Amino acid sequence: MSAVPGEEPVIRLGNEFTEVVVERVRTRNGARLRITVPGSGRQITLCPLELEALTWQGHELFSALLRTPHGPEDEPEDEPGDAR
């Protein structure tokens, strides 16, 4: 953990596959947790309810997400007769 006086602490977690940076940020809607992946530049900011929702999930969900970690390769095309 590292912090500059007056700033929120930063937590860095990593293994042989990735590194993430976790920090608490203040927004106009309250505190949020920002998770950043320095290697890809991706980040997400989660509110307390979104974080709680993670605890409702089983490890099976995360295993399924890791099968295609960057989303489906191709977007599914609309089937003929699809009403959208």
Beta pairing, strands 10-14 & 42-46:
unpaired
Query: Which two three-digit tokens encode residue 25?
Result: 């940020």
Name the strands in the sheet holding 42-46, side by side, starting at the edge strand that comes first in the sequence: 10-14, 19-27, 30-37, 42-46
CA torsion sign for 48, 27, 6, 14 is positive
Query: Which two three-digit tokens encode residue 37?
Result: 């992946």
- In terms of residues, how long is the chain? 84
Give the C-alpha separation, 9 to 23, whole Å.
6
**Whether pTM exceeds 0.95:** no
pLDDT tens for each residue of 39-58: 999 999 999 999 999 999 99
pLDDT tens for each residue of 6-17: 677 899 999 998
Q: Tell me the domain boundaries of the chain.
A: 10-67
Nearest to residue 12, comparing CAs of 48, 3, 57, 4? 3
